[in-house]
Structure 1
Amino acid sequence: MSVFAMASSVAGFVKIRYLMDKAVVDNMVFRLHYRITSAILFVSCVLVTANNLIGEPIQCINDRSIPSYVINTYCWITHTFTLPHQMGKLQGTHVAHPGVSAYVENEDETRYHSYYQWVPFMLFFQGVLFYVPHWMWKNWEEGKMRMLTDGMRGAMVGPKESRHERQSRVVQYFIDTLHTHNVYATGYFFCEALNFINVVGNMFFIDAFLGGTFFTYGLDVIRFAGQNQEVRTDPMVAIFPRVTKCTFHKYGPSGSIQRHDALCVLALNILNEKIYIFLWFWFIILAVLSGLALVYSSAVVLLPSIRETILLRRFRFGTPAGVSALIRKTQVGDFLLLHFMGQNMNMMMFGELLDEISRKLHLGNNIPTAPSTLELSPIYPSDKLRLHKETEA
């Protein structure tokens, strides 16, 4: 199977999930974790395992005393190495390649490279890690929002009578379960915090995997781009060397141990270096966005004024006094449920829903901003007098 076919299958899976008509129970930053980041990591895993893209991942040359397939297999399953003290020397005159030169075994400092065997497994494992918080929240949520907004999502919501019938059921459910949604909200905020912990933890994970070089990797690459071309040393070559050394020992005809040095070309590192420089920038951006989302969620939990602002400005509902009364009557879990309803319903229908909830909760100081079900029943003079007195109060 070609690399493009495998990558297309991953991309097709993401596209199908995105286009399916499902209820929205998270925010954009949350979706960046399990949709975009997981897809990036899975596609990267496919790329580094596709031999038809770059050929064999390792090719070693020696003095022909050892068959090439033997030395290739040996150096791949064990390790290769470079010489750190030879990394900054001029290629072609002082060293054959960056970090590759003659050395004295057991005396010169060597840097061993065996991470390339684990890169595909690492990328796949990280892709799973970024999907886990979504999986946890999906099982915690149990399809509640999908059932509540069934038939009311999107622009086409059906006939008015059917719409009001569904709306009445949702309103009645909300009134009956008022102040019981805090566990629901706890699950969401916990998974949102887990997203932030996950992206930061993955950065430390990669840094340990690459020998403590990941945190400065992006900065080194940026600094390298501004240096003089004749004297600069590519940091990507230092972390992901393209040519390394490998030592193979075997017995000679007399029974003595012979050492054979080989030069190995790691073609796979041309992909690894691009993948990890992209992940360096992407994880930093994602960590910042996740941190801001976590601060926003903390403000929603701790500050009722933020919840009022969301209803007033984002959903354009009611008056300040009416919205304030609704916020005082509900708790954080109730507000989160309403917030998700607002994300899944059109503005007019959500306004009607909030109007009906306000009336059920006897919040008489809320002025409706959208047509509501009150239009279906007459208002008698006694009701008008009562409403007038409540408004003045």
Structure 2
Amino acid sequence: MFDVFGSVKGLLKLDSVCIDNNVFRLHYKATVIILIAFSLLVTSRQYIGDPIDCIVDEIPSNVMDTYCWIYSTFTIPDRTGVVGKDIVQPGVSSHVAGEDNVKYHKYYQWVCFTLFFQAILFYVPRYLWKTWEGGRIKMLALDLNCPVANDECKSDRRKLLVEYFATNLHTQNFYAFRFFFCEVLNFVNVVGQIYFMDFFLDGEFTTYGADVVKFTEMEPEERIDPMSRVFPKVTKCTFHKYGASGTVQRFDGLCVLPLNIVNEKIYVFLWFWFIALSILSGLSLAYRLAVIAGPKLRLLLLRARSRISPHNQIETIAKNCQIGDWFVLYQLGKNIDPLVYKQLVSDLAEKFQGKGSV
């Protein structure tokens, strides 16, 4: 198991400097790790075995396995009854070609690739923000997040920061709005991926988790497992070949899909995870809109970030700062020592008071 997931452990490393927020990290770190781990899991034959095993008379099993894997298997959703008496498995029964409603299952060839592709999409907003951010917060917070730095060094860094804010006042809005744009991308991405998985699973994903919850609450005799409907463990496959006289012979085979035991659990988890993540991302966007539109909210947040600073100093800074200046100062508060941050706030307030209202 360590060999399979050992390559993912590098993604668990936390950054020394925080340039985003917790909801943002759920997208590019937690979700990316989950998707890559699932992608590796479905390719691990030592835990699952062969992804498909088919049984049919007169056709070599390895030929049938390869054929059915490439050309897909199918079930007949209308065929229900008592397993072992009326039917072999749910959806597996005799049928007439062209007359019965047949559902083909070919997604299983692509599960590992789609999971990895989804992980890449979740990392795109992070990549964009990291590129646009350019290490600004890390450079500004240099030595101020180190508890063993001497007072003279910290004092010099604070002076540089005060001069930086005074020189770049009202010029950092574009920096902040690029981060806000990446937050919008996160929300669009997670909602879009819900519909992408719905398309991938032939319209079954949007209600999949809710159907599974309903299934657990039903009486045993009334249950029709939605996981078996979306991810059947036993399916059919039809093989055609020429007989000795040149006529086309049709062979119906049964195929066992062990991989679907894992797939059904993966997609139940992903349903709940993506729904929760989309709700959190939507709330985060609502919060961000309130921050952009509400100077009073920015003042309250700055007070919360610098709790040990006098309120009058915070008000002086908030009055002189636009959204970009506030955003940079707020991000710095996450990365430097609280006592140093208190002194920085004091120096900034003194600087603004000395210059008068900007």
* Residues in 1 aligned to 2:257 and 2:109: alpha-carbon distance in whole angstroms: 11
| Counterpart check, 1:81 vs 2:74 | yes
Is the Cα contact below 8 Å between 1:148 and 1:170 reproduced in 2?
yes
**Which of 301, 316, 336 is the matching residue for 2:327?**
336
Report the equivalent of 1:107.
99
**CA offsets, 1:218-237, max 9 Å, x none?**
11100000111123111000
**Which of 33, 44, 49 is the matching residue for 1:39?**
33
| Counterpart check, 1:90 vs 2:82 | yes
Task: Describe how 1:156-175 pairs up with structure 2 within 5 A.
Answer: 156-175=147-166
* Residues in 2 aligned to 1:317 and 1:291: alpha-carbon distance in whole angstroms: 32
Is the Cα contact below 8 Å between 1:41 and 1:126 reproduced in 2?
yes
Report the equivalent of 1:140.
132
Question: CA offset at residue 85 of structure 1?
Answer: 0.3
**Which of 50, 56, 60 is the matching residue for 1:56?**
50
Is the Cα contact below 8 Å between 1:342 and 1:350 reproduced in 2?
yes
TM score, norm. by length of structure 2: 0.97
Structure 1: segments with no counterpart, 5+ residues: 366-393
* Residues in 2 aligned to 1:347 and 1:318: alpha-carbon distance in whole angstroms: 10
Bigger radius of gyration: 1
Q: Give the superposed CA RMSD.
A: 1.4
| Counterpart check, 1:23 vs 2:17 | yes
* Residues in 2 aligned to 1:319 and 1:298: alpha-carbon distance in whole angstroms: 27
Question: CA offset at residue 321 of structure 1?
Answer: 4.0
**CA offsets, 1:308-350, max 9 Å, x none?**
1112223215444442332121100000000110000121111
Question: CA offset at residue 363 of structure 1?
Answer: 6.3
Question: CA offset at residue 157 of structure 1?
Answer: 4.4
Is the Cα contact below 8 Å between 2:172 and 2:324 reproduced in 1?
yes
* Residues in 1 aligned to 2:227 and 2:350: alpha-carbon distance in whole angstroms: 64
Structure 2: segments with no counterpart, 5+ residues: none
* Residues in 1 aligned to 2:91 and 2:82: alpha-carbon distance in whole angstroms: 10
Task: Describe how 1:5-20 pairs up with structure 2 within 5 A.
Answer: 5-10=3-8, 12-15=9-12, 17-18=13-14, 20=15
**CA offsets, 1:253-294, max 9 Å, x none?**
111000000000000001100000000000011111111111
- Please state whether the residue corresponding to 1:352 is helix, strand or coil: helix
* Residues in 2 aligned to 1:118 and 1:313: alpha-carbon distance in whole angstroms: 48
* Residues in 2 aligned to 1:340 and 1:318: alpha-carbon distance in whole angstroms: 16
Q: Report the AA paired with residue 351 of structure 1.
A: K
**CA offsets, 1:158-183, max 9 Å, x none?**
11111101111111111111111001
Q: Runs in 1 of length 4+ with deviation above 6 angstroms?
A: none
Q: Report the AA paired with residue 118 of structure 2.
A: Q
- Please state whether the residue corresponding to 2:236 is helix, strand or coil: strand
TM score, norm. by length of structure 1: 0.88
Is the Cα contact below 8 Å between 1:311 and 1:317 reproduced in 2?
no
Report the equivalent of 1:4.
2
Is the Cα contact below 8 Å between 2:305 and 2:330 reproduced in 1?
no
Task: Describe how 1:254-265 pairs up with structure 2 within 5 A.
Answer: 254-265=245-256
Is the Cα contact below 8 Å between 1:311 and 1:323 reproduced in 2?
yes
* Residues in 2 aligned to 1:113 and 1:192: alpha-carbon distance in whole angstroms: 36
Is the Cα contact below 8 Å between 1:6 and 1:46 reproduced in 2?
yes
| Counterpart check, 1:244 vs 2:238 | no
**Which of 338, 344, 348 is the matching residue for 1:353?**
344
* Residues in 2 aligned to 1:255 and 1:272: alpha-carbon distance in whole angstroms: 41
The number of equivalent residue pairs is 356
**CA offsets, 1:55-98, max 9 Å, x none?**
100000011x1100000000001110000101x32211111001
- Please state whether the residue corresponding to 1:158 is helix, strand or coil: coil
Q: Report the AA paired with residue 54 of structure 2.
A: C
Is the Cα contact below 8 Å between 1:317 and 1:323 reproduced in 2?
no
* Residues in 1 aligned to 2:310 and 2:286: alpha-carbon distance in whole angstroms: 26
**Which of 91, 108, 114 is the matching residue for 1:116?**
108
* Residues in 2 aligned to 1:314 and 1:167: alpha-carbon distance in whole angstroms: 17
* Residues in 2 aligned to 1:231 and 1:254: alpha-carbon distance in whole angstroms: 49
Is the Cα contact below 8 Å between 2:313 and 2:345 reproduced in 1?
no
| Counterpart check, 1:182 vs 2:179 | no
Report the equivalent of 1:212.
203
